[in-house]
Structure 1
Amino acid sequence: MKKLIYVITLLFILINYATAIPNDNVIKTFNGEEFHLTGDYYHPNITDVNQKMTPVIPFEGLSTHGGQQIVDGYKQAFKHDVMGDFINLQLSLVKKQISSNDQHTIIQNLAVIRKQFPELINFWQGLAAATHHTLEEIYLVAWSEEGLFANEIQKDTNNSLEKMAEITKKGSACTSIGWSNGILGQTQDMNVAYSGWGAIWQSPTLIVHAPTPFFTSIVMGKKLATTTNIIEGLRQGSGKNGVPISAVIMAIAAKIDNVYKVPALFAALKTNGAYSPSFVDLKNQIITIEITNKGNKVIDGTKKGYVVHTNHPIGEEKRLVKKYAQGNRQLFDNLSANTLWRLATAKLRAIYSPTKSVDALKNLFSVKPILMQGYKGNAFITTNAIIHDLKAGCTYGTTWSPNLQDFTKVCFVN
């Protein structure tokens, strides 16, 4: 058993600024509200709502003016400078956790973005102008959204079993599921401390679900929709040598019309984190790509008509359980925030649901084990949920637990 202490990998870890669970089980969220953990797994608290509404922020898209509109939109929706506060917070963390030399390495990858996604440069320049920062500072923040997260996981892969079990309760996970008919959705599971600033951005060609101001990788374009799941820990991204995956996926959704064009883009890129985004297009094509620093794996769901993914490399379950938990499947699953249980549940729904629809996913996202709720000693919950209906041109999102908040419907205006 002692050998096991050093081998199970940290799939889900809350980076330093997220509030840990104090003895009184009270969590403070991004917007300063308190969440009180009560009950147990099957009888969790269902009364605290940290964000009662989902603001929809209009912007023109990935342009300089679009960036400025996003900053102003947050101010109007939340009555204070959310974007500015978040940027200052992230920059302080970067300064504490990333050396000057490594910051320089990170910023060098702006050249990659300029070449392949110049629209992101324009957008970030708008954010910079509206918040009185430099482009380089904005890029560091964009990188830090996943980069700091991955950095913490990689530093802590040798923690004790007991420590990892506690960290799992404070981390981040997701369940994604979609069909080739254009319906694609995901729950976002993370520490309740991350909640409180969620919004949906709406432009004529791009709709972005942003649970935090720089986590922008769950998006719908006019011809392509995407969700993004994490596999960091069991796999690794390229850290300081990689570009921010959230921003890149947002840009891809804005301009790509075919899921089979996406793998080549990532084959030519290093990303700061190991993630598994899923993509669906209007041609009834759907794929998931597991993106790592050792190469990428494409999981093609077009022929079977669906994809599902949680937080481990698909198809390697037996090997992972043997390697990380000496064959104890339940132990591996529990320490990995029920990744196997959620995958099996989502797969059954993907295959057997009588309708492959928005309502089918709304129902799935409201029940355990897909729905994670807070309870005493556990602040690891489903903080929000997203469902795209690409063919209808509408997407649905919550900025709080989907069993406590109605989905907000946002559509492209023809």
Structure 2
Amino acid sequence: MKNSIKTLTVAVALASTIGTLSFAAAAKQVPGEALDYYAPDRTAHQVGAEVVDLSGKGQEALAQQLATLHRLTPEQTVLDIAVNAVENNKAIAPKYAGLMQRQAEIKGVEVHELYAAIAQADWDINKSFVTAGDDLAILQGAAQSMRGCTTLAFAETGIVAQNNDMDINNLLTAETTVIKTDERIFLATDGGHFQGMGKHVAAVLNFMGEPSAPSATIDTKNVVTPDAVFAAITASKSVEDAFNKLKDYTTPVAINFTVADDKGDHGAIEMTTKGTRLVRGESGIGHGNHTAEMRETFLEDKTELEANMTFADTFAREDAANMFINYAKERTVRGMQFILEQKPLNLTKYDSDFVTVESMVFDTKAGCAYVSGDNPKFGDYTKVCFN
């Protein structure tokens, strides 16, 4: 009996040592290297997010800060569409429009050029679908560029979250920075307002694009840019208030904004050239890179597996997100963070360079944001609160 116990003890110790060695070997891996699909492990590129606290410093300090950020170079079509957005952006988010105007003065450019630079990234992704047409092989290649970003909101909790999925080079070349002001906590992209929260409402996004609705043209007069949409939502007093501001407008390409407010309301505001609508779920909502109509179309002559393979897990992520939302017992920030680490919602380097580069959870009732500087499977969240 004693020999059996001794043998068992040695075996356990050996297994522990092997496990430690295995973990140590895995931990030496760095972003960009292929990982195990179900049990990926590597060192974090950035632990938590950097915070720029501009509380009490006013609009001028914020304009000066945003004016220093890198911007894409917009193409002529996007510039033409952005001209139509200038007055519309003022209508839905007047204070933010003033901030952008001040940035334009600092940089010595027209304000529509700044709006166009912000809209260019989604336009680039969308172009691959426009050129694909009905060619399945090209379409599948295009789908790789929209294989990520899953958004979720718990009903009644005021909690909304997102896995932000991009090419891994975005992780390696840009640090995650959170900007805090007296009114908002948000991520700035290309010098504009993106995922964030105000004192009552928070918002995150999914790209949907041409598969879900035609893109805008120079003749689309009711266009607004996504940064102004975020500003409008986070300046609202409720989800319903935000939707009422946006219901008559469209973004240059189809985009969904998943939202939650401090009264417990939630929803997905899908903005397309076919119309803008607010979709809610019973327990909350999970959203992928498509509308319900787009999914239904692809399932007319394909199995769910075939459709999901064509569009690189967008349907799988939507189903998984809603399964977690519907059955999660811990409807808390930690509960949401757990969901964001699960497959297939969380993308780690495996068969593609398109990965989860950061995640965020906004708790509107507590007034706190949680933002990771890398895939949260490898690092921690930084907590930023209004108070």
CA deviation after TM superposition for structure 1 residue 347, in Å: 1.5
**TM-score by structure 1 length?**
0.76
Gap change, CA 1:328 and 1:39, over 3 Å in 2: same
2:90 match: secondary structure: helix
- Aligned counterpart in structure 2 of residue 164 of structure 1, from 136, 139, 154: 139
- For the pair 1:38 / 2:34, whether they are aligned, the reply is yes
Matched residue type, 1:122: G
Gap change, CA 1:214 and 1:149, over 3 Å in 2: farther
The answer on whether the counterparts of 1:145 and 1:214 sit within 8 Å (CA) in structure 2 is no
Q: Distance in 2 between matches of 1:160 and 1:48?
A: 40
CA deviation after TM superposition for structure 1 residue 130, in Å: 4.2
The answer on whether the counterparts of 2:361 and 2:371 sit within 8 Å (CA) in structure 1 is yes
- For the pair 1:404 / 2:384, whether they are aligned, the reply is no
- For the pair 1:209 / 2:187, whether they are aligned, the reply is yes
Q: How does 1:339-350 map to 2 (within 5 A)?
A: 339-350=314-325
CA deviation after TM superposition for structure 1 residue 315, in Å: 6.9
**TM-score by structure 2 length?**
0.81
Structure 2 counterpart of 1:269: 249
Gap change, CA 1:166 and 1:105, over 3 Å in 2: closer
2:208 match: secondary structure: coil
- For the pair 1:366 / 2:338, whether they are aligned, the reply is no
Matched residue type, 1:408: T
- Aligned counterpart in structure 1 of residue 176 of structure 2, from 195, 198, 202: 198
- For the pair 1:251 / 2:228, whether they are aligned, the reply is no
Identity of aligned residues (%): 20
How many residue pairs match? The answer is: 351
- Aligned counterpart in structure 2 of residue 223 of structure 1, from 196, 200, 216: 200
Matched residue type, 1:332: A
Moved segments of 4+, more than 6 Å = none
Matched residue type, 2:355: I
Mean CA deviation greater in 351-360 or 326-335: 326-335
1:391 match: secondary structure: coil
Matched residue type, 1:393: G
Q: How does 1:71-110 map to 2 (within 5 A)?
A: 71=67, 83=69, 86-87=70-71, 90-91=72-73, 94=74, 97-98=75-76, 103-110=79-86
Gap change, CA 1:271 and 1:57, over 3 Å in 2: same
1:63 match: secondary structure: helix
Q: Distance in 2 between matches of 1:352 and 1:289?
A: 23
Gap change, CA 1:290 and 1:389, over 3 Å in 2: same
Unaligned 5+ segments in structure 2 are 1-29
Q: Distance in 1 between matches of 2:54 and 2:280?
A: 33
CA deviation after TM superposition for structure 1 residue 263, in Å: 2.7
| Bigger-Rg structure (1/2) | 2
Give deviations 1:353-396, integer Å, cap 9, x for gaps: 11101111111111211111112x51011111111111111010
The answer on whether the counterparts of 1:223 and 1:256 sit within 8 Å (CA) in structure 2 is yes
- Aligned counterpart in structure 1 of residue 53 of structure 2, from 48, 55, 58: 58
Matched residue type, 2:239: V
Structure 1 counterpart of 2:369: 395
- For the pair 1:70 / 2:66, whether they are aligned, the reply is yes
The answer on whether the counterparts of 1:259 and 1:281 sit within 8 Å (CA) in structure 2 is yes
Gap change, CA 1:346 and 1:277, over 3 Å in 2: same
Matched residue type, 2:209: E
Backbone CA RMSD of aligned residues = 2.6
Q: Distance in 2 between matches of 1:334 and 1:214?
A: 35
